[in-house]
Structure 1
Amino acid sequence: MHKPARSLGQRIIWACVILALLCAALFSFFNVVFVYTVEDQFFRHQLMDEEKRQLQQSQIVAPLAAGMQIFQSPKDFPADLQQQFEPNTQRTEYSGEQGRHYHIRPFHHPSVKAPVWLVAEVSQQLVVRPIRDEMLLLYGISTLVMLLLAAALGFTLARRATRPLTQLAELVQKNQFSPGFAQKFPANEIGVLADALEQNWLRVQAFIEREQAFSRDASHELRTPLAVIQTSCELLLNQQWPAEQQQRLEQIQHSSRQMNQLISTLLAMSREQHLGQTETIKLAGVLEQLVLNLSPLLDGNSIELELQVAPDLEVQLNPVLLQMVLTNLLQNAFLHSAAGTIFISADSQQLLIQNPVHDDDQPTELTALFAKGRQSSGYGLGLGIVQRLCQQTGLELQLERQAQQLIVRLIWPQL
């Protein structure tokens, strides 16, 4: 049975954890951007205030703020700033050597033709950078705590939400239904599903009981007249009759045997639960007994039988099922074989029945009829039933036409 790679509960937990991780990462990113933006705006406003003060003076004067200088040209910048300076850009922030950090602002002063530059070295005034590692550590710890809380919340939700569904799935998997099992589930979508499942299960159980009762009654009603027919045929065959009447009586006897076997097969198929009980069976003994029982079908025909099965060969199958399948296959081979040799062999992998067929039997017709589960008048009765029996227990039935030979392979289930 196929099992999902991840349960529904695990998916709920992972969804909560991933959502918490995304939210924590998003808000941490916004917070970092916010504090850096606030800090940059603080220095920008300092430079703007100094620019206003300078414009109020007739000449350029020394800035009031510590770490702030005025330069006539970028060539006069400090060496570390001059190395990184990018002219013709709007960049106003540069990192220098030995932890220095610069903010610059150009402006025009009436006393000077060329623009002048306000440069503020703000490394001693930075607030975010000194606590950046601690801030990131705090974000990481907070994110981890949020993930643990999200996992706990997801586990709680998943357990509450999926426990009834898991119990229902176990009931379905183990087939441990009992009347009224839907009442144990809560009155939500799972309860509705359980109630619908119980109603359908009760309907199926009622249908199975009706079918089994009908099969028992039909089997009993059909066996009684068949027993009378078989007994009458046996009594009549003990007397001397003309060849034509003798042949008719034998045909009636063979048909009644086939009908009796068909009834037994149908009755067993209606009780599928009994076909799963397996035993270790010596195949040679079963085949020899069946060949002996069906040997009257070969009387009067130019047919020889060759049986090659090791005496110690064993198979693990239900004995009733094996007998029904082999009986149908052997009857088919004995009744509808052309003159020649029927070859039967078996090994640990498969059983092989090979019998000659008439020239007018077409393999395409056999294949089509067998695929549709119907019976061919040229190849016997019961192939569809045998196919269904094999499907129930893992057996594989293969039919193949080679030249004037019909090859039937019954492949044993692999343990």
Structure 2
Amino acid sequence: MKQRISIGIRRLFALQALVLCLLFSGLVLGYALVAEDNVFNAQLDSESAWLQAQYRAHGVLPEPRYPFMRVHPGWDALPEPVRRLHAREPGRVEFTQPGGEVIHARQVALSPQASVVLVAQVEPFGFAGHTWRPVLALLLLLSALLVGAGTWLVYRRVEKLVAPLGRLARQLEQADGAPLAPRFADGLPDNETGYLARVIEGQWRQLEAQLARERDFTRDVSHELRTPLTILRNLHQQLATESGITPAQVRQLGEMLDWQQSTVDILLALARQESLARTDIDLGAAVERVILARPDTTWPDDFALTVGIPDRTTVACNPRLLELLLANLLDNALKHGAEPALDIACDGGWLTFSNPVANASSKPAQARAEGIGQGLHLAARICAVHGWELRVDEQAGGHFTAAVCLGAGGHAGGRVSRPPA
């Protein structure tokens, strides 16, 4: 069985939880960076206001209340990079000193003539300074715990949800074409899985019933058609020895019996499951067996038979169906040919049965056309089983040819085509 659905669901949830945790961690880190600047600025504003109030009340500038804040007489007392940046951006509060330390500085107006610069050394307390490592480690730890706990909870829940579907899949896998157990869908929940199981069981039962009907039909046809044919053949032998029936009528009756027997054999072979089995068959030997199986009375004394099949020509097919196909084409050529001649050849993957019709003008049109299409529907059915193409070509004053494409270039479907004359 391929990968289980529950595994895919757990992986998808773990991936989703991990992405959400990373996004949440990014938001927390971004908020921390913004919030700490606002906190430091608020402290700086509060201390500036306190210094201004103390100076106005006592006339003396006191030391800042926060130990990380210092008062400088002016911007000139600060490093050169800070002075240049302040000159470009007078409203800027956050600065970076040459050593990489971050400070927040604000000018405090004590009087119209006097002012100082209040500087807060925020580097030791800032998130970007020393606290980002433990905060990041804590966020990663919390993310791992959340992903692990969520995946475990989902695992328990998903296993319960997909257990019926897994049980259904195992039952179908164990069946492997065998009949399903009675009440196959019982015990499954009344949801999509149970509905799917009931539909599969219903379709399976219908298929079994259909196959049973086909087996019964094949058995009945084999008995009900073969038995009357046997009786008719016995009567035919009796009529052949009695008076009141001409030899032509006896021959015609025998031909019809042979044709019906061949039709029944083909239909029964197509209806059987074992007819789908294939093996490599020597085409030349198969044609030879079919020819030798015909009684001597089938062949006129002046019949010209030519067989041109290269040695070791093989075809992958069902032996019984190939024999019936060759017999059908051979009977069609013998019974409806205009002259006592037949050319059997195999070239380029095409097996051809060709009858010369040089004297076709001397025969009635209906007689000449009688063989065209006779039994070819059954031949096409056999070709359809193997994915071959049956092609019929009739040319006035030339040949009547039935050709079967046995190679890979044939067209599946067993269709009969008539190329333009």
For the aligned pair, the TM-score class normalised by the smaller chain equals 0.7 to 0.9
Contact 1:399 1:407 in 2 (8 A): yes
How many angstroms does 1:86 deviate by? 8.2
Tell me what 2:388 maps to: 397
2:292 equivalent to 1:292: yes
> What is the CA–CA distance in structure 2 between the aligned matches of 1:9 and 1:387, rounded to whole Å?
47
Tell me what 2:373 maps to: 377
Tell me what 1:168 maps to: 168
Name the % identity.
Answer: 22
Q: Kindly provide the amino acid, as one letter, of the partner of residue 101 in structure 1.
A: V
Tell me what 2:48 maps to: 51
SS at match of 2:124: coil
| 1:41-71 alpha-carbon deviations (Å, 9 max, x no partner) | 3211211102212442347946614454567
**RMSD of the alignment, in Å?**
4.3
SS at match of 2:373: coil
How many angstroms does 1:344 deviate by? 3.4
Q: Structure 1 residues 384, 281: CA separation in 2 closer, same or farther (over 3 Å shift)?
A: closer
Tell me what 2:122 maps to: 122
How many angstroms does 1:12 deviate by? 1.0
TM-score (norm 2): 0.72
> What is the CA–CA distance in structure 2 between the aligned matches of 1:89 and 1:336, rounded to whole Å?
113
Contact 2:380 2:390 in 1 (8 A): no
State which of 200, 203, 221 in structure 1 corresponds to 2:203.
200
2:102 equivalent to 1:101: yes
Tell me what 2:412 maps to: none
Contact 1:306 1:344 in 2 (8 A): yes
Contact 2:321 2:382 in 1 (8 A): no
TM-score (norm 1): 0.72
Tell me what 2:227 maps to: 224
Q: Structure 1 residues 100, 332: CA separation in 2 closer, same or farther (over 3 Å shift)?
A: farther
Q: Structure 1 residues 73, 284: CA separation in 2 closer, same or farther (over 3 Å shift)?
A: farther
RCO comparison, higher one (Cα < 8 Å, 6+): 1
Tell me what 1:319 maps to: 319
> What is the CA–CA distance in structure 1 between the aligned matches of 2:87 and 2:275, rounded to whole Å?
88
Contact 2:342 2:354 in 1 (8 A): yes
Counterpart mapping for 1:56-135 below 5 A: 56=53, 57-58=55-56, 61=61, 64=64, 65-68=66-69, 77-82=78-83, 87-88=88-89, 92-105=93-106, 111-112=112-113, 118-127=118-127, 129-135=129-135
SS at match of 1:139: helix
Q: Structure 1 residues 122, 229: CA separation in 2 closer, same or farther (over 3 Å shift)?
A: same
> What is the CA–CA distance in structure 2 between the aligned matches of 1:318 and 1:336, rounded to whole Å?
27
Tell me what 1:15 maps to: 12
> What is the CA–CA distance in structure 1 between the aligned matches of 2:118 and 2:249, rounded to whole Å?
125
Q: Kindly provide the amino acid, as one letter, of the partner of residue 200 in structure 1.
A: Q
> What is the CA–CA distance in structure 2 between the aligned matches of 1:104 and 1:212, rounded to whole Å?
98
Q: Kindly provide the amino acid, as one letter, of the partner of residue 30 in structure 2.
A: V
Contact 1:17 1:151 in 2 (8 A): yes
Q: Structure 1 residues 195, 86: CA separation in 2 closer, same or farther (over 3 Å shift)?
A: farther
> What is the CA–CA distance in structure 2 between the aligned matches of 1:156 and 1:332, rounded to whole Å?
71
Contact 2:332 2:374 in 1 (8 A): no
| 1:331-373 alpha-carbon deviations (Å, 9 max, x no partner) | 45655667665333389xx5633535879xxxxxxxxxxxxxx
Contact 2:240 2:250 in 1 (8 A): yes
How many angstroms does 1:108 deviate by? 6.0
> What is the CA–CA distance in structure 2 between the aligned matches of 1:237 and 1:84, rounded to whole Å?
128
How many angstroms does 1:222 deviate by? 1.9
> What is the CA–CA distance in structure 2 between the aligned matches of 1:181 and 1:331, rounded to whole Å?
51
State which of 19, 22, 25 in structure 2 corresponds to 1:25.
22
Tell me what 1:190 maps to: 193
How many angstroms does 1:198 deviate by? 1.5
> What is the CA–CA distance in structure 2 between the aligned matches of 1:33 and 1:258, rounded to whole Å?
91
2:306 equivalent to 1:305: yes
> What is the CA–CA distance in structure 2 between the aligned matches of 1:29 and 1:326, rounded to whole Å?
79
Tell me what 1:181 maps to: 184
Tell me what 2:271 maps to: 270
> What is the CA–CA distance in structure 2 between the aligned matches of 1:154 and 1:325, rounded to whole Å?
62
Q: How many residues align?
A: 383
> What is the CA–CA distance in structure 2 between the aligned matches of 1:77 and 1:354, rounded to whole Å?
110
Q: Kindly provide the amino acid, as one letter, of the partner of residue 37 in structure 1.
A: V
Contact 1:81 1:102 in 2 (8 A): no
> What is the CA–CA distance in structure 2 between the aligned matches of 1:403 and 1:196, rounded to whole Å?
51
Q: Structure 1 residues 184, 293: CA separation in 2 closer, same or farther (over 3 Å shift)?
A: farther
Tell me what 1:253 maps to: 254
How many angstroms does 1:74 deviate by? 6.1
How many angstroms does 1:83 deviate by? 5.5
Q: Kindly provide the amino acid, as one letter, of the partner of residue 194 in structure 1.
A: A
Contact 2:279 2:318 in 1 (8 A): yes
Q: Kindly provide the amino acid, as one letter, of the partner of residue 353 in structure 1.
A: T
Q: Kindly provide the amino acid, as one letter, of the partner of residue 41 in structure 2.
A: R
